[in-house]
Chains A and B, each alone.
Chain A
Amino acid sequence: DGGITQSPKYLFRKEGQNVTLSCEQNLNHDAMYWYRQDPGQGLRLIYYSQIVNDFQKGDIAEGYSVSREKKESFPLTVTSAQKNPTAFYLCASSTDREDYEQYFGPGTRLTVT
């Protein structure tokens, strides 16, 4: 089945630790995205990548880092510099057709205490 996988589903970390969230897609999409979702705030774009070895900051990139070494993979690292890391993180990819329709993974809920 084609789709986007995110692991793990739940992640717990102590404050001050970096943590990496995994995102893999087998849809052969060039573009991939990371969003953060908080209650009452909607989805906010963290980083996006339109092609391998290239990525751009979204609206809330501070405290996060990404890499795009393979077309299928777009891991997100939440660093200790992120002041409020507890959130639901969603990875997405989009088609290369003209409509750029976005497809989402199941999400990772990160809790930092």
Chain B
Amino acid sequence: KQEVTQIPAALSVPEGENLVLNCSFTDSAIYNLQWFRQDPGKGLTSLLLIQSSQREQTSGRLNASLDKSSGRSTLYIAASQPGDSATYLCAVRRGGQGGSEKLVFGKGTKLTVNP
């Protein structure tokens, strides 16, 4: 059974700092991995999606990497801003027939960027 873990559960940093959020998964047979952002009381916003054949994806100040063999992904946020404060979730899609439609989520890392 696939399990996804995000550590730390909460992180507080000063504005301008570069930071890394971690995601680990137990079964390396994944189809892809997706990073989301969730603001309090809101739905999830997709940030980046990495296919199993890719090593990283970039969007603006965000860079996500994937190491399937070690079961890890990181989300790097450059020059953090107070507007980046949110909960960040990662989710993996199981590979193989019949499983590619489901995502398994981590519990998220709550990020606070202090002005």
List the interface of chain A (C-beta within 8 A of B).
4, 6, 31, 40-43, 45, 48, 50, 58, 88, 90, 92, 94, 99-107, 109
Contact = CB atoms under 8 A, between A and B. Distances in A.
22 contacts: A40-B107, A42-B89, A42-B106, A42-B107, A43-B89, A43-B105, A48-B102, A90-B44, A99-B32, A99-B49, A99-B51, A100-B31, A100-B100, A101-B34, A101-B49, A102-B46, A103-B46, A104-B36, A104-B43, A104-B46, A105-B43, A107-B43
Contacts of B34: 101-102
Nearest to A9: B41
B35 to A, nearest CB: 11
Given A90-B43, A104-B44, 11 more contacts: A41-B107, A42-B89, A42-B105, A42-B108, A43-B89, A100-B31, A103-B46, A104-B46, A105-B43, A107-B41, A107-B42
Contacts of A100: 31-32, 93, 100-101
Interface in B82-113: 89, 91, 93, 100-103, 105-108
Contacts of A42: 89, 105-108
Contacts of A4: 43
Contact of A109 (B41, B44, B91, B107): B41
B42 A50 contact: no
Nearest to B102: A45
A100 B33 CA distance: 10
Given A42-B106, A42-B107, A101 B101 contact: no
